[in-house]
């Protein structure tokens, strides 16, 4: 291809630090599972909106926001995967799961009837899906942070100093 540079034609100084994103964050299958999970969370909350309309306004708004924001986060991860996109996707699912646990644990204003209703089918489906997405995002963020930490020259330098002192 005209104008393309082959990897063996690149001239990189020996002391240059080359960083690349971890393989897990670039894996299309991992991104696809995450996106499908986020879209599923959005669909589940969209299906629950008619049942929430008769309840409290704040809960209905929360369901509407999740129905829009979760698939939006999935598209962000799909089209432009970045640290912020992965963090946002994890936060959306973690907050949705926390909301489920909160509304099932204690009576909340406008939704006191759901306290103790842990086995609601769509709620459990959403909770499991959110848990899978949170676990995937946590693994990806750990790999990104480890790669970021390893690529900092001062961290390697300070690590070298401590090993030099131990050897002396």
Q: pLDDT tens string for the chain (168 positions)?
A: 454 444 444 455 555 555 555 678 888 899 999 999 999 999 999 998 887 777 788 888 988 999 999 999 999 999 988 889 999 999 999 999 998 888 888 877 777 667 777 788 888 999 999 999 999 999 999 888 877 766 655 555 555 444 444 444
Q: What is the pLDDT of residue 151?
A: 61
**For position 50, what pLDDT does the model report?**
87
Residues ≥6 apart with Cβ < 8 Å to 99: 62
1 Cβ contact list (under 8 Å, min separation 6) = none
> Rg of the chain over CA atoms, in angstroms?
22
pLDDT at residue 20, as a whole number = 55
DSSP state of 8: G
Residue positions counted in the chain: 168
pLDDT at 109: 77
**CA 94/CA 117 separation, integer angstroms:** 20
Q: What are the Cα distances from residue 42, in Å, to 69, 89, 100, 135, 151?
A: 7, 12, 14, 18, 36
Q: What local confidence, expressed as pLDDT, does residue 6 receive?
A: 43
What HEC string does 114-144 produce?
Answer: HCCCCCCHHHHHHHHHHHHHHHHHHHHHHHH
């Amino acid at each position: 291809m005209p104008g393309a540079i082959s990897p063996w034609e690149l001239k990189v100084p020996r002391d240059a630090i080359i960083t690349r994103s971890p393989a897990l964050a670039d894996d299309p299958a991992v991104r696809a599972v995450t996106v499908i999970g986020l879209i599923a969370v959005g669909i589940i909350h969209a299906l629950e909106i008619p049942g929430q309309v008769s309840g409290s306004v704040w809960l209905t708004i929360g369901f509407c926001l999740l129905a829009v924001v979760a698939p939006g986060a999935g598209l962000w991860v799909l089209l432009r995967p970045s640290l912020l996109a992965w963090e946002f996707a994890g936060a959306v699912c973690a907050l949705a799961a926390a909301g489920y646990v909160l509304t099932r644990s204690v009576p909340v204003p406008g939704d006191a009837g759901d306290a103790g209703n842990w086995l609601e089918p769509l709620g459990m489906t959403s909770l499991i899906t959110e848990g899978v997405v949170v676990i995937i995002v946590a693994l990806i963020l750990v790999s990104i942070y480890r790669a970021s930490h390893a690529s900092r020259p001062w961290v390697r330098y300070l690590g070298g100093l401590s090993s030099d002192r131990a050897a002396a």
